Amino acid sequence: MTFPKTGTGALSRRAFLALGAAGLAVRPAFAADMRVACVEWTAAATLLSLGVAPVAAGDVPDYPTWVVEPAMPRSVIDLGSRFQPNLELLVEIAPDLVVVTEGYGVDAGTFASLAPVHTLKTIPADGESALANAAAEARRLAERIDRPEAALRLEAETQAAFDAARAGLAPLAGAPVCVASLFEERSIRIYASGLVDEVLDRIGLLNAWDGETGGWGFSYVGIERLATLPENTRLALLDPLPDPVRLRLEASSLWANLPVVREGRVFQVPPVWPFGGLDAAGRLARILAQALGTS
Amino acid sequence: MTMTLARPRARAVLPLAALCLALALPALLLTLRDAAGVLPLDRWPAALASPDLADPAELLARHALGPRILVSLLAGAALAFAGTLLTQALRNPLAEAATLGTAAGASLALTAATLFAPVLLSAGREWVALAGGAAATALSFALASGRGFSPVRLILSGLVVTLTAGSAAATLMALKSDYVSEVFVWQSGSLLQNGDGVAKSLAWQLALAILATLPLVRALAIIGIDDRAGAALGLSPARVRLGTVAIGVVLAAAVTAGVGVIAFLGVAAPALARLAGARTFKARLVAAPLLGALMLWLTDRMVAALSTGLELPAGAATAVLGAPLILALLPRVRSTLPQADNAPPAIRRASPRLLLGIALGILALVLLALGFGRSLSGWSWLAPAQWADILPLRAPRTVAAAGAGLLLGAAGALLQRVTGNPMASPELLGVSGGATLGVLALMLASSVALGPLSAAVCAGAGAALATGLVLGLGLRRGASPDRLLLAGFFVSTFASSLAAAFLASGDPRAQWLQTWLTGSTYLVSGGQAAAAALAGLAVLALLPLAARWLAILPLGAPVATALGLPVAASRGALVALAAVSTALAVLVVGPLSFVGLIAPHTARMLGLRSPAQEAQAAALLAAAMLVAADWLGRTVIFPWQVPAGLLAAVLGLPAFVWLMRTGRA
């Protein structure tokens, strides 16, 4: 008798998991087999940086534009919008775990009847460190997928990235830096608090921006505010910077005459997901060290 | 002689001068305060003439605040100028870029280009905006000219186009959500400047428009009074109108390209100019741009003064300030509007079997929507083994779409009958807009995440309040159908401006609001779906009871009274039923869908003209449309999804234009 190959695999895996749940001490062997779906990118990137590829994730096509690293394997199934992941598809995939991110459109309750749910918290509570939160969340997810050692490794890698960047940036120690994204040529999104701010601190730089922020830790202000940045501030503009925006920016008489622009202290750097976890923090440290280290 | 001539002129100029002073004085004081904050006032002349750009303060004076003040004046003048031309040429006191669909079309084109083909914008935003604005305006005219052409009809067509373009833009943004707040900042009319580029181009665009208008002024002044008088003087009224409308549309599209959508100014400035004593067209052509410039200047400075960090875009602020002004003006405006066209009160018995056929068709459609779909392996029917897994996800969405359709279709048919206006619908009456406002009010009042229940309560309250307001304004002087619709129009526009401002604010809940506004059945629970369906069936069952009212009311109040019908009471009851139905439906499929507008026409096209049957058929057809839209939205770009309400709007409008053009509705 023959069954479709995927069918048998799924059956045996479920049977084994049932055994595991019954208390047999062989869980690490199945952990690699755990099929995890992620609703949005921070969850997917955190999972990937723990060494596990998600079986499915929200908005796979745009991931390389905004997050880039860790690279998403081609095998990952697109779940559709990160704010409205396709529930029928999710049921069809039947993951062992769905990672939902708090404050991200859909809430965990939507998935509760479809699959086991793990909730990732990416926005730290008031006064809490974003990096400490990201580390704790990575640990919690690692435990949930039975890879606690992977979280330790990720933390060590992130710390190493900070140390290397700090060493490379030693000549600039304490220099003011402003990290921002531009989506249209009149306004700028400046990362004021949270992950970006703490990474700057860890690699020995000073966040030049101390303006007001919203819930996501950034200020959205007119570009004229860049005129009053502290002297010698370096401005790191995260990609993607759409071409027409760049062209119109170059045509802008205000932009062209901003001190930071006239003195050549604007650096266009590769994309980093500013709302990400430890992996994004490490990537930001590496990218800033590379872009600013030679300046 | 000169004395007697001078006296009336002085009288006419006096209130205008007082109004200008009242606007200019606070604007000037605020500007001086803001200017001093950037650079000591005595250094401004030098900074503007020959700035030392290495000095950040002088840079900001010359390339940020200076241009921003100038742009607020120029954009205000340009919009008011365009509005004056359009109101005169179309003899329609409510014609302007925002009411003719021009601004929304330009905005949709720019949004689409930003998200999907940014390369188009490299040559300049103006061309993209102009193409979109001109196309949308042409569509409004095409829609209005199907059968007879009236000012009211043009405005309502413009509203249909505006709302549809808005839906289409929202659909695009739902697919590219990372740019949402950025696109909205621009869409909602921010006057932030990054140099003097926009100010320069607006200046020459306005100058060109004025030059192009000069040869038309005399002809326009006459045409505004009477076409025949113009023809007697050897003018071609059609050509003069077309040329004038073209100038107005191009200028308005240019402003949209430069600063985004700034609603109501084009209507408010000419109306204020008229109130302040500018009785002739020539006088308004000078006074309205002056007032428009001062109004936008003051609005922008007030917004800047009130802002704490995240700034309310000036375009949203003009809508917030302008909407009540327009509502207050409505009773005056009404008297200058010609009569609305009445739907033919044809009564013909259609076979009840047709109604049964429609009902069976819908049943088949529901089965299709439940059973046939897409999965990883492609298109397929649901196997019985999958029912338990998939149906709990599909059924609430399909049932909710059907229920909301029943409610909206019935509401549309009722409103069209009661107002005697074929363009009436829940979307255009402002009921949907009111529901949006209710939810927004809750979001502004508290900072907590919204649950489905609190959203439902607020949407219901908002819809009830808006309906009350619209009815209050519309019924004050003898239940005039047009005023009802116009009041609804401004409630809708007000709601969408406020929603855009909230979406631009960067509030994390903007995403939730966006999901709801786009009319997705994604989050509908089983209970909500059942409630919507039961309510829909209840309304369907109630309709035959209103058959006599629905047959007699379109004949007009005198006839109805003569036949012994309590006109005000019966109208009130039917409108209240329509409002309640709409509020319930909006909770499920969001404020935009247009099935309430389209379905009654489709029912009449099928030959169902007896009032109760027409309304029942409209309800059933609207249900079919929303079920189909929901099914398409779930499957066409699988695994991505398009909200049912938006898809129904985007697909429905072209169908509606076609129906109106062929005159079969």
In terms of domains, do A22 and A98 share one?
yes
* Beta-strand pair A176-181/A206-207: parallel
Q: Are B99 and B159 in contact (CB under 8 A)?
A: yes
Chain B contacts of A258, Cβ < 8 Å?
59
Query: Residues B107-139: pLDDT tens digits?
Result: 888 888 877 777 777 777 788 888 999 999 988
**pLDDT tens digits for range A258-279:** 889 988 899 999 999 988 899 9
Are A223 and B185 a contacting pair at CB < 8 A?
A: no
User: Could B56 and A228 be called an inter-chain contact, meaning their C-beta atoms sit closer than 8 Å?
Assistant: yes
Specify if B411 maps to a domain: yes
* Residues B269 and B390 grouped into a single domain: no
Contact criterion met (CB < 8 Å) for B375 and A83:
no
Which of B619, B617, B662, B155 lies closest to B409, judged by CA?
A: B619
Residues A204 and A124 in one domain: no
Mean pLDDT of A131-150: 93
- A74: Cβ contacts below 8 Å, ≥ 6 apart: none
Shared domain check, B411 and B275: no
**Cα(B428)–Cα(B412) distance, integer angstroms:** 10
Structure tokens at B477: 């002087």
Q: Of A110, A136, A158, which marks where a domain is finished?
A: A158
d(CA B465, CA B482) in angstroms, rounded, equals 19
A101 and A140, same domain (yes or no): yes
Give me the residue from A78, A81, A255 closest to B194, CB to CB.
A255
Q: Which helix (H) or strand (E) holds A176?
A: strand A176-181
Put simply, the answer to whether A186 touches B192 (Cβ < 8 Å) is yes
B342 located within any domain: no
Query: Within the 20-59 window of chain A, which residues sit less than 8 Å (CB to CB) from chain B?
Result: none
pLDDT at B233: 63
Evaluate if residue A136 carries a pLDDT over 60: yes
Q: Which residue matches tokens 């302007």? A: B96
In this structure, what CATH number is given to the domain that contains residue B402? 1.10.3470.10
In this complex, the residue of B182, B638, B641 whose CB is nearest that of residue A84 is: B641
B334-377: per-residue pLDDT in tens? Answer: 433 344 444 444 444 556 778 888 888 988 999 999 989 888 88
- Pair of tokens at residue B268: 């408010």
For residues B563-588, b (16+ Cβ closer than 10 Å) or e, as one string? Answer: eebebeebbeebbebbbbbbbbbbbb
| pLDDT above 50: residue A74 | yes
Domain limits for position A73 = 5-158
Residue to test with chain B: of A62, A81, A218, most B Cβ within 10 A: A81
Give a yes or no: residue A163 inside a domain: no
The verdict on a CB contact (< 8 Å) between A220 and B54 is no
Same domain, A87 and A106: yes
Residue of chain B minimizing CA distance to A185: B194
My answer on whether B252 and B202 are in the same domain is yes
Q: Are residues B312 and B400 in the same domain?
A: no
Residue B144 has pLDDT above 90, yes or no: no
Q: Say whether both B239 and B307 belong to one domain.
A: yes
Which among B60, B190, B520 has CB closest to A224?
A: B60
Q: Same structural domain for residues B256 and B379?
A: no
Ordered alpha helix ranges (H), B476-566: 481-504, 510-517, 526-542, 547-552, 557-562
Alpha carbon distance A197, A178 (integer Å): 9
For A218, name the nearest residue in chain B, comparing CA atoms only: B506
* Closest chain A residue by Cα to residue B638: A80
Confidence tier at B102 by pLDDT (50, 70, 90) = confident
Sort out which chain A residues have CB atoms less than 8 A from B506's CB and list them: 214, 216, 218, 220
| Residue A130 sits in the same domain as residue A192 | no
A257 vs B contacts (CB less than 8 Å): 53, 59, 63
- In degrees to the nearest 10, what's the CA dihedral of B168, B174, B176, B177? 140
Residues from chain A contacting residue B511 (CB–CB below 8 Å) = 83, 104-105
What is the reported pLDDT for A268?
A: 92
CB-hemisphere CA count at 13 Å for B600? 27
Q: Do A203 and A283 belong to one domain?
A: yes
Residue B388 lies in a domain: yes
CB contact under 8 A, B195 and A187: no
Tokens representing B392 are 């709990």
Q: How far is A80 from chain B (nearest CA, A)?
A: 4
Residue B72 · residue B297 · CB < 8 Å: yes
pTM of the model: 0.81
Closest partner residue to B179 (CB to CB) among A183, A227, A255 is: A183
**CA-CA distance, B361 to B375, in Å (whole number)?**
25
pLDDT tens-digit profile of B189-207? 778 888 888 899 999 999 9
In Å, how far is A46's CA from the nearest CA of chain B? 20
Nearest-by-CA chain A residue for B54: A259
Q: Does A84 touch chain B (CB under 8 A)?
A: yes
Question: Exposed, middle or buried, B627 (CB in 10 Å: 0-12/13-18/19+)?
Answer: buried
Contact residues, chain A, for B60 at CB < 8 Å: 224, 227, 254
Strands A176-181 and A117-120: unpaired
Percent above pLDDT 90 for chain A: 48
A22-36, B29-43, B319-333, B450-464: which is most confident: B29-43
Q: Do the Cβ atoms of B196 and A186 come within 8 Å?
A: no
Are B59 and A254 a contacting pair at CB < 8 A? yes
What is the CATH classification number for the domain harbouring A118? 3.40.50.1980
The 10s digit of each residue's pLDDT in B372-418 is 988 888 888 888 888 888 889 899 999 999 999 999 999 999 888 88
Cβ atoms within 10 Å of A222's Cβ, excluding its own: 20
Query: Inter-chain contact B639–A110, Cβ cutoff 8 Å?
Result: no
* Two tokens, residue B625: 């449309």
> How many cross-chain Cβ pairs, A to B, lie less than 8 Å apart?
149
In a domain, B548, yes or no: yes
Cβ-based contacts of A41 with chain B (< 8 Å): none
The answer on B372 and B299 residing in a single domain is: no
| Calpha distance A255→B193 (Å, rounded) | 10
Query: Residue B561 has which token pair?
Result: 């009274």
Assess whether B227 and B284 both reside in one domain. Answer: yes
Q: Which of A67, A104, A111 is nearest to A82 (CA)?
A: A104
In a domain, A63, yes or no: yes
Q: Are strands B372-375 and A176-181 parallel, antiparallel or unpaired?
A: unpaired
The whole-angstrom separation of Cα B500 and Cα B170 is 10
Same domain, residue pair B155 and B187: yes
Buried b (16+ CB within 10 A) or exposed e, B161-200: bbbbbbbbbbbbbbebbbbbbbbbbbbbbbbbbbbbbbbe
Is the CB of B59 less than 8 angstroms away from the CB of A257?
yes
- Chain B hits for A230, CB-CB cut-off 8 Å, are none
Q: If 0-12 CB within 10 Å is exposed, 13-18 middle and 19+ buried, where does residue A25 land?
A: exposed
Judged by CB atoms closer than 8 Å, whether chains meet at A215 and B638 is answered as: no
Angle, helices B644-662/B611-635, rounded to nearest 10 degrees = 130
Rounded to an integer, what distance in angstroms lies between the CA atom of residue B451 and that of residue B516? 12
Q: What are phi and psi of B129, to 5 degrees?
A: -65, -40
State the nearest Cα–Cα gap between A187 and chain B, in angstroms. 8
According to DSSP H, which parts of A62-170 are helical? Answer: 63-66, 87-93, 109-112, 130-144, 148-168
Helical segments of B39-146, H only: 44-49, 56-60, 66-89, 102-116, 125-144
The verdict on a CB contact (< 8 Å) between B641 and A66 is: no
Task: Residue window 89-108, chain A: list those with CB within 8 Å of chain B.
Answer: 89, 91-93, 103-106
> CA-to-CA distance for A271 and A293, rounded, in angstroms?
18
User: Which pLDDT value is given to residue A38?
Assistant: 94
Determine, for residues B122 and A243 on separate chains, whether the beta-carbon distance falls below 8 Å: yes
State whether A121 and A88 are in the same domain: yes
Select from A22, A38, A11 the least CA-distant residue to A115.
A38
From A108, A132, A158, the end of a domain falls on A158
Query: What are B238-269's pLDDT values in tens digits?
Result: 788 888 889 999 999 889 888 888 878 888 88
Residues of A in contact with B195 (CB under 8 A): 251-256
Chain B residues closer than 8 Å to A262 by CB: 53-54
For the ranges A215-224, B540-549, B640-649, the lowest mean pLDDT is seen at A215-224
B64 and B193, same domain (yes or no)? yes
Could you tell me the CA-to-CA distances from B530 to A175, B400, B534, B535 in Å, in that order? 61, 7, 6, 8
Domain-located, residue B479:
no
Our CA-based measurement puts residue B220 at a distance from the nearest CA of chain A, in whole angstroms, of 39
Q: Are residues A117 and A234 in the same domain?
A: no
Tell me, yes or no, whether B124 lies in a domain.
yes
Sign of the C-alpha dihedral computed for residues A60, A62, A66 and A69 taken in this order = positive
> 3-state class of A118 per DSSP?
strand
- Give the separation between CA B348 and CA B340, rounded to whole angstroms: 24
Place of tokens 């009477």: B226
The answer to whether A3 faces chain B, any CB pair under 8 Å, is no
Task: From chain B, pick out residues whose CB is under 8 angstroms from the CB of A224.
Answer: 60, 63-65, 192, 194
- B338: DSSP letter: P
Task: Inform me whether the C-beta atom of residue A83 falls under 8 Å from chain B C-beta atoms.
Answer: yes
The count of structural domains within chain A is 2
Beta-carbon contacts of residue B91 (< 8 Å; ≥ 6 apart): B151, B224
Best mutation site among A86, A106, A113, A123 for testing chain B: the one with the most B CBs within 10 Å? A86
Residue B335 tokens, joined: 């008297």
Confidence at residue B338, expressed as pLDDT on a 0 to 100 scale: 40
B51: nearest CA partner in chain A? A257
Q: Kindly determine whether residue A93 and residue B175, on different chains, have CB atoms separated by under 8 Å.
A: no
Domain end, chosen from A133, A158, A183, is at A158
CB-closest option in A186, A243, A257 to B53 = A257
Domain for residue B29, yes or no? yes
- For residues A205 and A283, state if they share a domain: yes
Q: For residue B275, give every residue at least 6 positions away whose Cβ sits within 8 Å of its Cβ, in sequence order, or none.
A: B329
**CA B474 vs CA B48, B100, B487, B489: distances in Å:** 51, 22, 7, 12
End-to-end, the C-alpha distance of chain A in Å comes to: 68
Q: How far is B357 from chain A (nearest CA, A)?
A: 32
Q: Do the chains contact at B389 and A183, CB–CB below 8 Å?
A: no
Q: How far apart are alpha carbons B307 and B199 in whole angstroms? A: 23
Residues in Cβ contact with B35 at an 8 Å cutoff, skipping those fewer than 6 apart: B41, B44, B61, B65
Residue B637: which of A35, A89, A157 has the closest Cα? A89
The residue segments making up the domain with residue B144 are: 11-36+60-334
Residues A88, A177: one domain? no
Residues in chain A with CB shorter than 8 Å from the CB of B640 are 80-81, 86
Q: Select from B334, B363, B380 the last residue of a domain.
A: B334
Same domain? B76 vs B203:
yes
pLDDT in tens, B591-649: 777 888 889 888 888 877 688 888 999 999 999 999 999 999 999 888 888 888 888 88
Query: What's the number of domains chain B is made of?
Result: 2
Q: Are both B144 and B216 inside the same structural domain?
A: yes
Residue B279 in domain: yes
Q: What is the separation, in whole angstroms, between the first and last Cα of chain B?
A: 60
Token pair of B119 as six digits: 């390369």
Residue A3's pLDDT band (cuts 50, 70, 90)? very low
Higher pLDDT, A62 or B224: A62
B306 compared with A146, residue with greater pLDDT:
A146
Cβ separation B638–A110 shorter than 8 A: no
**CA of A202 to nearest chain B CA: how many angstroms apart?**
27
Q: Which domain-ending residue is among B334, B360, B389?
A: B334
Q: What is the DSSP string of B342-353?
A: PPP----PPPHH
Give the pLDDT score at B74.
95
Among B307, B334, B361, which residue terminates a domain? Answer: B334
A156 at interface of B, judged by CB pairs closer than 8 A = no
Q: State whether A254 and A289 are in the same domain.
A: yes
For chain B, what is the radius of gyration of the CA atoms? 26
H-helix or E-strand containing B655?
helix B644-662
Does residue B172 surpass a pLDDT of 80? no
Indicate whether A218 and A152 sit together in one domain.
no
